[in-house]
Structure 1
Amino acid sequence: MRKRYISTRNKQGQTLEDVWVDKYAVSREGLLKVHEGPFSALVSKDDNYVYAVDSDGKTIAEGEAGVDDASVIQQALDSLTVGRTWKEKVLVMCECEISSEITVPSKAILSGGCYKLKAGGRVVFSEDVKLEDFVFENAILYCANADRIPISIGGANPKRRIVIRNITIFDRSGESIWVGGDGGVHDSLLENIWFINCERGVRSNHLTRSVIHNIYGYECKREIVFIAGYVGETYYPHDCVIENVVLYNTTPIADLVSAGYNPMPVDITRTAKMIVRNIYGVNVTKGVNMEPVYTGDVDDETLVENGYFENVWRSAVYITDARRCTVRRVYAKDVGLINDTDDAGIHGILFNAYYSTLELCKIENARGHGIALGSGRNQNIIRNNRIISPNYENAFTEGVGISLYSVENVLIEGNIIEDEVGYMTYAIREYGTSNNNLIGDNIIRAGTISWVGVNTVVKRNIGYLTENSGTATFSGDGTTTQFSIEHGLVSTPSKIQVTAMSSDAAGDFYVTADATYIYVNYNTAPPSGIDNVKLSWSAEV
């Protein structure tokens, strides 16, 4: 064991330089081997004392453990080199009880520590000055008795190059981390953060050019990542990456909703140019909620990709009036199945967007439609998705795989739509004032396609033929004047073309049709022969 140099005395009157340190009995060189990089100040505890020493072991501050913890940490932070242009680290190597604010200055790293936050206790970053280049890392926060946001970064002045990483927060009632304010938080990183039994995780109203990744929520009651610009403000969050977010609740979603909670992995509201990817949610109200910037003249240009959502109260992806966004590779299972009070928003994916693309998603067992586009959401592409068993509980008279209500210039292609329970009426339904849409090259394994637009094109859908062609060969007998060709279309064709391919078939004829056959009617019966009446035909509904 080694001594550390402290020039003060303990309660027994001993000089602390004579006290052997059992829990952290290492020299400065030993500490450097355990912790990355040098430190400028170290905070630890010795019996009933909490103390801070500099890198030479000289005392910066000390006090009564459990009473003066926050004050000693603050004095350690305040002792860092004045006017520095580099970052310096304060290393906390003990459990602390915090009942007042710890304010982290610019170009500082607060690393380590287990913090029990009491009333008034939290870690903040100075709000009254422009701050940059500061870090809070490698800490555990217990927040059962906290009455303030545990980690708060805000104010009227901008904050830049913030790093919050390797943090675990327990038992927070309310928001756990706040980054925002009128000045905003910019060019920053939040990573490797766990929220255990918390109400809400990260929240921001003004975040730009930043990354939030590796965020895990367990038994949390509201949003894990909630980025929302304020209504009426000219600024809004933009140009951020949110990735690798997990929210796993074992409490059934119906119980959480009935208690007034709204658990959700990601909510981005009044934001633009965001990348949201690798999102997982079980027992959640929505997987990803996205709304446009408030100003209305800025394109969202947001990407949402790689999501897995199960036991969802409303829609797995819920988009309201976004523009030029892309949603891809989302798997949603069991959406709205226990929600019998909110029929308006319980579709697998509610895609109320413009000029946007939804592709490569799988929606299985939705209470409502598989994919729904609302009124006026024009110029979208819905392609290469798989929809299984919409209207899973037979809650509606008409189950719909893809619903298009009063939309135009929408492309629906390459989708596979099937039904394992028998409650889907329409694989694809266009209704309202919809027109000028293209529905083609889909695989329809159940249900029908219905459309109302006079300029809407429906063609080349496997399992729901609206156009077909082929050749037909008959043997004339000299008396038969009508020959029937089964067209295989979903209804009576409106366009038919028949061409004779043999001389015996070249007589005068006219064509009629019904829902099953094309009828070729000769004025004079073709002559007798074997396979001598050969016809080429095409038909379109």
Structure 2
Amino acid sequence: MCGRLQKVRERMLDAISYLLAKKGVSLAEEAKKKPSAFYSVIVRKDAGVWAEDADGNTIASGEAGVDDVAVIQSGINHIASLGGGILLLSANTFTFSDKVSINCDYISIIGAGRGKTVINGDPGTDKPYFELVNDTTTPRKFITIADFTIDGSDRPSTGTQFSAAIWDEGDGDISYLIIENMEIINSNPYAGCIQFENSSGSLNNVLIRNCYLETIHHSCYGLAFRKPTTYAFIINNKIIMDHSDSYNNLALYQDISHAFVAGNILISSGGHTPLAVSPGSYVNVIGNIVKASSDSGEGGIEVEWKSGHGTETSHHVNVIGNVVRNGNWGIYITRRDTSQPFPYRVNIIGNVVENCAVGVYADGGTDIIISHNNVVNNTTSMSLSGLSNAIIEGNLGYVNKNGGTATFSGDGTTTQFSIAHGLVPTPTKVQVTPLTADAAGDFYVTADATNIYINYLSPPASGVDNVQVWWEGEV
């Protein structure tokens, strides 16, 4: 068998040698050839700035710090002419004086790593650093942005309209977008980190993961979906808002659907609720750590309806296994106006909420499950009203169902016996079942926020432990 394989190998080498010989190339010469680069274009910088293709040919060049944007844009345009490719930003600092337009498909713009490749400078008032260019006749697809830092310290201190560091406001469609391993810091007013802004068009199949986003001024978002989005994966990001009048760390607006939000750390200094599903459907919010907003009407994680954010209320939302702390409402369900129904089919399960004014808050909703949450160490553990077809059970710090055996000794004159029910509010359902003959007289039951009262029409007979009942109370 070994001899056969050796003969096959020799024949293959002979065939390759023959083909190369016809071209006048030997195997030894072929082996000396420089391996092709993995990128289509690389942008380099020292005293000057230039872009070269995979063969080392210069595509564009200019003065460092002056022509950085023009050279990078030339590299993107070259990739567009190829039908796609990889633009590599080398380990340098590139200073922007205008925005870069991502105007093609099948492109990856990648750096040498966060802190190694740095974008800074001032792209201009109300301009992003990178803009995803699209419209109704020019959709975009298969775009990756990864592995570099954008430092917005040099942007104007004021702005007039939203314009995040990575920005889309086109009315076209964007599909298969990846933004990963990015650092975007020091974003200024109206100039957040990543934002998709248009109620027209759509986003489809978006992955944002392993990014560090931090804003230091008011009126901006960390990561905002303000464009209809389907199939979004937001995983393992850290988003910090350092201003007390900031907007959401993570805004899931405009009828976002089929979104998976997991493993993120969201830190608020006030302002809007860090994680907002407003409105969204078929959304899983799982295993995030949230420092909540303490502002009135805000909190940590919200599931809501709000006009201007979409066309229908939130529904089919899971909020599971999150940690929320130090805010007004920890996790909450609400609507901001009456033009749509309250959210429905929302599950709030297995979360830890502490040091909030209210651990879990709801002022309406249908088909709601709130169970097995740890809501100890809040001013009010839960405030629930207006819920229909709801299951509220097993929450630590909020006892809404209790029961047991109560035993009393009759004295022939006492007609009222009290049982401390241990429930947070006054129970709405109470059942008392006599277990002994002396407890079986005619009675009626009342309750308040502390006790259940068994009121006998005639006093039970005297005896020791002769009045025994089973009781159940439920909120």
- The answer to whether TM tops 0.5 is yes
Identity of aligned residues (%): 25
1:461-540 aligned at under 5 Å gives the runs 461-540=395-474
Give 5+ residue unaligned stretches, structure 1: 1-35, 41-85, 119-141, 294-298, 338-345, 392-398
Q: Distance in 2 between matches of 1:491 and 1:211?
A: 52
Q: Deviation per CA, 1:182-232, whole angstroms, max 9, x where unpaired? A: xx3216463436234234444333553344332222345464444x3721x
Q: 1:237 to 1:164 in 2, by over 3 A?
A: farther
Residue 372 (structure 1) aligned to one of 279, 302, 320: 302
Which residue in the other structure is 1:62 paired with? Answer: none
What's the offset of the Cα at 1:500? 2.3
Scaled by the length of structure 1, what TM-score is found? 0.63
Which residue in the other structure is 1:360 paired with? Answer: 287
8 Å contact kept, 2:107–2:143: yes
Q: 1:203 to 1:416 in 2, by over 3 A?
A: same
Question: Would you say 1:218 and 2:181 are equivalent positions?
Answer: no
Aligned residue type for 1:195: V
What's the offset of the Cα at 1:147? 6.8
Which residue in the other structure is 1:438 paired with? Answer: 369
Q: Distance in 1 between matches of 2:259 and 2:43?
A: 44
8 Å contact kept, 2:416–2:453: yes
Q: Deviation per CA, 1:325-363, whole angstroms, max 9, x where unpaired? A: 1112222223345xxxxxxxx112121211212122222
8 Å contact kept, 2:374–2:396: yes
Give 5+ residue unaligned stretches, structure 2: 1-31, 134-138, 156-162, 306-312, 336-341
SS at match of 2:84: strand
Q: Deviation per CA, 1:238-258, whole angstroms, max 9, x where unpaired? A: 223322111233xxx6xx32x
Scaled by the length of structure 2, what TM-score is found? 0.71
Which residue in the other structure is 1:192 paired with? Answer: 112
SS at match of 2:344: coil
SS at match of 1:443: coil
Q: Distance in 2 between matches of 1:404 and 1:88?
A: 49
Q: Deviation per CA, 1:144-171, whole angstroms, max 9, x where unpaired? A: 3557363342498672233425353422
What's the offset of the Cα at 1:469? 1.6
Aligned residue type for 1:203: E
Residue 413 (structure 1) aligned to one of 334, 349, 357: 349
Q: Deviation per CA, 1:408-452, whole angstroms, max 9, x where unpaired? A: 2212222222226xxx2x333333x63332223222232231221
Q: Distance in 1 between matches of 2:344 and 2:42?
A: 60
What's the offset of the Cα at 1:508? 3.4
SS at match of 1:512: strand
Q: 1:116 to 1:283 in 2, by over 3 A?
A: farther
Q: Distance in 1 between matches of 2:261 and 2:42?
A: 43
8 Å contact kept, 2:44–2:51: no
Q: Deviation per CA, 1:494-519, whole angstroms, max 9, x where unpaired? A: 21111223344333332222222111
Ranked by relative contact order (alpha carbons within 8 Å, sequence separation 6 or more), the top structure is 2
Which residue in the other structure is 2:252 paired with? Answer: 319
8 Å contact kept, 2:214–2:239: yes
What's the offset of the Cα at 1:485? 0.7
Q: Distance in 2 between matches of 1:529 and 1:336?
A: 62
Of stretches 328-337 and 373-382 in structure 1, the one that deviates more from structure 2 is 328-337
Say how many residue pairs are matched.
390
Q: Which has the larger radius of gyration?
A: 1
Q: Distance in 2 between matches of 1:240 and 1:92?
A: 22
Report runs of 4+ in structure 1 exceeding 6 Å deviation: 86-94, 155-158
Q: Deviation per CA, 1:36-58, whole angstroms, max 9, x where unpaired? A: 97289xxxxxxxxxxxxxxxxxx
Q: 1:522 to 1:110 in 2, by over 3 A?
A: farther
8 Å contact kept, 1:92–1:110: no
Q: Distance in 1 between matches of 2:223 and 2:43?
A: 37
Which residue in the other structure is 1:144 paired with? Answer: 66
Which residue in the other structure is 1:271 paired with? Answer: 203
8 Å contact kept, 2:62–2:71: no
Q: 1:360 to 1:157 in 2, by over 3 A?
A: same
Which residue in the other structure is 2:170 paired with? Answer: 230
What's the offset of the Cα at 1:89? 9.2
Q: 1:103 to 1:497 in 2, by over 3 A?
A: same
Q: Deviation per CA, 1:10-40, whole angstroms, max 9, x where unpaired? A: xxxxxxxxxxxxxxxxxxxxxxxxxx97289
Q: 1:111 to 1:538 in 2, by over 3 A?
A: farther
1:328-367 aligned at under 5 Å gives the runs 328-336=262-270, 346-352=272-278, 353-366=280-293, 367=295
8 Å contact kept, 1:209–1:239: yes
Q: Distance in 2 between matches of 1:225 and 1:493?
A: 52
